[in-house]
Structure 1
Amino acid sequence: MVRDVELINKILIKDFSHFHDHGFLVDTEVNPLEGHLFNMEGQKWRALRNKLSPTFTSGKLKWMLPQMSECADQLVQVLQKETHGEDVLIRDYLSRFSIDVISSCAFGLEGGALKDPDCEFRKMAKKIFRPSGIMKIKNTFRIFFPKTANWLKMKLIDPEVNDFFFNLTRQAFEHRLKTGLRRNDFVDLLLQLKQKGWVDHEAEEDEEKEEKDHIEVDPDTKLELTDGLLAAQSFIFLAAGWENTASVVSFTLLLLSRHQEAQAKAREEVAQIKRKYGGEFSYLAIKDMVYLDACVSESLRMFSPAVAIFHSCTKDYTLDDGLVIKKGTPVVVPTNAIQRDEVYFEDPDLFLPERFLEGDGKLPDAFLPFGAGPRVCIARRFVLLEVKLVLAKLLDSFDVLPSPKVVDPLTVDKSIFTFDIEGGIWVRLVKNQ
């Protein structure tokens, strides 16, 4: 386990060539949906990363924003209809919102979870995070005995879930090819990748300031873009983005409910920028909400869904003191522990969004909610856009008040797979006058 930020920076960025894999042993013949970007290694990971990177540029996100916005509007409407100033288990509503965004942007479908919490898409998604007893046993066994699990060819994803997502991706491709329909979503981009071998990239002016994701790849690397490989990318879009996004928004609302001054400041910024852009929450409008962005960053610092970053040493690495990290050694970076360390953040247990407006030189290396370096989360811009958009619309529609059902100290619920607190995240929503 590594907690020194200088060493973490070397592992994730400067000396990344020694630690470029996550180290999760997977057998994609047995578990094809595990053949996604997060699990891939070496040159194949590099090749796929480069092919997928253009799908999350500013230009592509602007295409997807209308679908996100429609889902956020539906969330506001549902909350206005179903809540009347009483306590609300907000995480449940945001989970339904998030699944609708993913079903729309990743699969080109109307998920329907906001209208029907028991819709088929959400049922299948729940099986990923709430697996059956036998699947829990298998996955626990794989954690402690990965090589044996591979040798036994254990199926680690529920067969029903596997079939559902394979069929969903295949049917989406077939429908687009047959009808010529374009929705400017992830399915369109994957289909373009399948047909051409790359995704068209038209540079946007504001992308000049964005960090570039291109990674050098061995020209001899062969990467076959099969339907299975593409289905796995859609699967990880859901698995990584669904509950994590709901968690970030939920914790941010919880913190804002307890810090009314910060909430008022964020709401005023939202109102001013909404007026500036003619009443629209456009891509540029969301980007201009710097204080709201600081609130989200502070929430991510205090309650990051990615509690740790996992890498594996891919070739022997000598530390400054002469200690050698041997090839194959797992390396763990405890994200939440570092982001709550007073060495890097003054008053770490206080919600202080202003710390992200002051340009503290310690922040970039110690702030790791999406990882860092070449393995940084490829969809981070998508996630942040979705989070800020829905927060802006909620603050524009409701006052968020604390609920007595949430008590201090906030204790992480260790009985569930997703990141939550014991008793759930409750707030009280009152319609803006």
Structure 2
Amino acid sequence: MEVLTALLAILASILGYLIYRGRKVNKYWEERGVPHETPGLFFGNSWSGLTGQESMLFDWKNNLYKKYPNAPLLGYYDLMRPILVVKDIDLVQQVLIKDFKHFSKRVLEPDEVKFPYLENLFVMAGKRWKSMRNKMIPVFTTGKLRQMYGQMSELGDSLVRQIESQVEEKKCSLELKRSFDCYSMDIIGSTAFGLDIGSIRDGDNEFARMGKKVFDWVFNLRFLVNNNFPQFSKKFGIGMTRPSVFKYFTGIVEQAFEHRRRTGGQRNDFVNLMLQLKEKGHLDLVKDEADEGSDDYLTMTDDSIVGSKAIEITEPLILANAFLFIMAGFDTAGTLLTMLCLDLSQNISVQNKLREDIRKTLSANKGVFCYEVIRDTPYLEMCIKESMRLHTLIPVLFRLCTKEYTFPGTNVTVKPGDTIEIPTHSIHMDPEIYPDPECFKPERFAPDVSHQNCTWLPFGEGPRICIAMRFVITEVKCAIAKVLLKYEIALNPKTELPIRASPRSLIFKPKRPVYFDLKKIS
């Protein structure tokens, strides 16, 4: 009886401490005078998202953003972790660009010994990150992209043939996302590793099946644990990706490396460029004079990180960045293309204008679907940018404070280790920034229209902007242009509107399928 009493006393003490700790954490924003939502004990403001009642990243956070229209900063609690949301665009610029030295890290700080595949450009920080980024810049220049474009174009033709077979079979009610996902997988296989993946021909092959596991519910759960309980994750070796998924894809990369070394073959892909980087320690910058301006984002860096740290390009480091390339490419391009088709099907005049512009540029290039066709059709990029604004794939950007900082014009000070959030989706849907934000208006992004910095953030901004931005936009341009030249796209009545985000996904995915009717152009 005494033992039981002692045990109950210990449990009561532990529970009492946890309740005390939880209540103390929940006063964090109140004590700092930051507008915030009232949190629940232990779960903070995350309950509705965890239970799937609504999308925490899209619906809940967008409602929070609109609830405090005049507040430059907001607070909320992700379980027991206080998060500071930076709303004011001038302050967003401070975080992402002007005072980058205070916020140069992303939130995740993985154990690189236990999880070598996370030693990549996305999570690196400081001089090591700067050195690696500088070495990787030549991989993603417009000049290199032009060299890879032939492979993209061939796969674009394969995509159209695959869609054609669906049209002949079903005539209507086509769910194109699966075809677009397969196109994206094949692009990665071809341009990155010189492999004929064949996902377009067989959407259920092993590569495609493993690709679907990259961002499945297991990844979401692992991310949640790593993000909220980093010490627990490190202690028990819980990575964000299943070991089997990492092993499969890095095995493919290793085989590609070995084959290339053995045969001495040359190809304009990631494998060849990484082998050159490993052997020479650097890559030669290939400039494309006609597109030099579009590469400006690549050279954006932070002067506060003085010098760089020597970094040896080892095979594990190459494998880590190759896996990052795979993760970043899966699912995202397919979703982008699906949502762009949705926008074009709901705005037929825009669709017709875009098709006509593509035809004119194609005719100017003597009917050859070359790189210049997608480069010299400005309206094509305008439509893509507007669709990416309307359907933000990455709804928030996270940064970790690395040096104490007081936000200008406020009394709010953050300290090293505090988490900062940039609400990209809410910024994109803010009527003060984009009037009639629910409407699809490509003219917002006409070449002669200027936008305040940090108001279009699908790829981030500042020194940590996505290095593969032009690559993604180019593969989307190639696919949609080829499809539009062949088909008129209409929305099938089976599609449930409005489109809602899948509540448990960390990136934007439609909650329900999107169906289209395609009519062949004679």
Structure 2: runs of 5 or more not aligned = 1-84
In 2, Cα distance between equivalents of 1:140 and 1:373: 26
In 2, Cα distance between equivalents of 1:246 and 1:232: 23
Contact kept in structure 2, 1:255 and 1:351, CA below 8 Å: yes
1:226 is displaced (CA, Å) by 1.5
In 2, Cα distance between equivalents of 1:170 and 1:197: 19
State which of 223, 246, 258 in structure 2 corresponds to 1:162: 246
Q: Which protein is bigger by CA-based radius of gyration?
A: 2
- Name the structure 2 match of 1:403: 492
Q: Which moved more, 1:157-166 or 1:87-96?
A: 157-166
- Name the structure 1 match of 2:317: 229
Contact kept in structure 1, 2:395 and 2:507, CA below 8 Å: no
Deviations 1:385-406 (A, max 9, x none): 1111111001001100111112
In 2, Cα distance between equivalents of 1:100 and 1:179: 23
In 2, Cα distance between equivalents of 1:265 and 1:423: 29
In 2, Cα distance between equivalents of 1:358 and 1:212: 17
State which of 191, 195, 202 in structure 2 corresponds to 1:116: 202
Contact kept in structure 1, 2:190 and 2:196, CA below 8 Å: yes
Alignment of structure 1 residues 125-136 onto 2, 5 Å: 125-130=211-216, 132=218
Contact kept in structure 1, 2:226 and 2:239, CA below 8 Å: no
Q: Which moved more, 1:92-101 or 1:168-177?
A: 168-177
Q: Taking structure 1 as the reference length, what is the TM-score of the superposition?
A: 0.95
1:151 is displaced (CA, Å) by 2.3
- Name the structure 2 match of 1:312: 400
1:79 is displaced (CA, Å) by 0.7
Paired AA for residue 215 in structure 2: F
In 1, Cα distance between equivalents of 2:286 and 2:388: 31
- 3-state DSSP of counterpart to 2:298: coil
1:171 is displaced (CA, Å) by 1.4
- Name the structure 2 match of 1:14: 98
In 1, Cα distance between equivalents of 2:350 and 2:324: 34
State which of 108, 113, 133 in structure 2 corresponds to 1:24: 108
- Name the structure 1 match of 2:131: 47
* Gap change, CA 1:323 and 1:136, over 3 Å in 2: closer
1:154 is displaced (CA, Å) by 2.2
Alignment of structure 1 residues 85-100 onto 2, 5 Å: 85-100=171-186
In 2, Cα distance between equivalents of 1:206 and 1:218: 32
Which portions of structure 1, spanning 4 or more consecutive aligned residues, are displaced by more than 6 angstroms? none
Deviations 1:125-173 (A, max 9, x none): 11212255xx654443222201221122224422221221222222111
Q: Which moved more, 1:29-38 or 1:366-375?
A: 29-38
- Name the structure 1 match of 2:337: 249
Alignment of structure 1 residues 314-333 onto 2, 5 Å: 314-320=402-408, 321-333=410-422
* Gap change, CA 1:314 and 1:424, over 3 Å in 2: same
In 2, Cα distance between equivalents of 1:283 and 1:315: 44
* Gap change, CA 1:418 and 1:17, over 3 Å in 2: closer
1:14 is displaced (CA, Å) by 1.2
- 3-state DSSP of counterpart to 2:191: helix
In 1, Cα distance between equivalents of 2:514 and 2:413: 44
Mapped pair 1:388 → 2:477: yes
Contact kept in structure 2, 1:298 and 1:352, CA below 8 Å: yes
Contact kept in structure 2, 1:58 and 1:206, CA below 8 Å: no
Paired AA for residue 242 in structure 1: F
Paired AA for residue 300 in structure 1: M
1:417 is displaced (CA, Å) by 4.9
- 3-state DSSP of counterpart to 1:314: coil
- Name the structure 1 match of 2:376: 288
Paired AA for residue 355 in structure 2: R
- Name the structure 1 match of 2:66: none
Mapped pair 1:365 → 2:454: yes
Contact kept in structure 2, 1:166 and 1:228, CA below 8 Å: no
In 2, Cα distance between equivalents of 1:353 and 1:388: 14
In 1, Cα distance between equivalents of 2:484 and 2:452: 27
Contact kept in structure 1, 2:104 and 2:401, CA below 8 Å: yes
Paired AA for residue 270 in structure 1: I
- 3-state DSSP of counterpart to 2:325: helix
In 2, Cα distance between equivalents of 1:154 and 1:194: 30
The percent of aligned pairs where both chains have the same amino acid is 35
State which of 270, 273, 277 in structure 2 corresponds to 1:193: 277
Q: Alpha carbon RMSD of aligned pairs, Å?
A: 1.7
In 1, Cα distance between equivalents of 2:405 and 2:224: 30
1:111 is displaced (CA, Å) by 0.9
In 2, Cα distance between equivalents of 1:428 and 1:371: 34
* Gap change, CA 1:138 and 1:252, over 3 Å in 2: closer
- 3-state DSSP of counterpart to 1:129: coil
- Name the structure 2 match of 1:334: 423
Mapped pair 1:213 → 2:301: no
Deviations 1:401-424 (A, max 9, x none): 111112322211214455222222
In 2, Cα distance between equivalents of 1:370 and 1:155: 24
In 2, Cα distance between equivalents of 1:140 and 1:314: 22
Structure 1: runs of 5 or more not aligned = none
Deviations 1:294-344 (A, max 9, x none): 111110010011111111111111222242221221111111110000010
1:219 is displaced (CA, Å) by 4.5
- Name the structure 2 match of 1:428: 517
- 3-state DSSP of counterpart to 2:86: coil
Contact kept in structure 2, 1:31 and 1:156, CA below 8 Å: no
Q: Which moved more, 1:396-405 or 1:214-223?
A: 214-223
In 2, Cα distance between equivalents of 1:267 and 1:6: 38
Q: Taking structure 2 as the reference length, what is the TM-score of the superposition?
A: 0.80
- 3-state DSSP of counterpart to 1:401: strand
Deviations 1:232-275 (A, max 9, x none): 11111111122111111110001100110000000000111111
1:15 is displaced (CA, Å) by 1.2
Paired AA for residue 400 in structure 2: S
- Name the structure 2 match of 1:240: 328
In 2, Cα distance between equivalents of 1:220 and 1:242: 31
- 3-state DSSP of counterpart to 2:476: helix
In 2, Cα distance between equivalents of 1:29 and 1:170: 20
In 1, Cα distance between equivalents of 2:234 and 2:455: 35
- 3-state DSSP of counterpart to 1:310: strand
- Name the structure 1 match of 2:188: 102
How many residues align? The count is 431
- Name the structure 2 match of 1:71: 155
- 3-state DSSP of counterpart to 1:89: coil
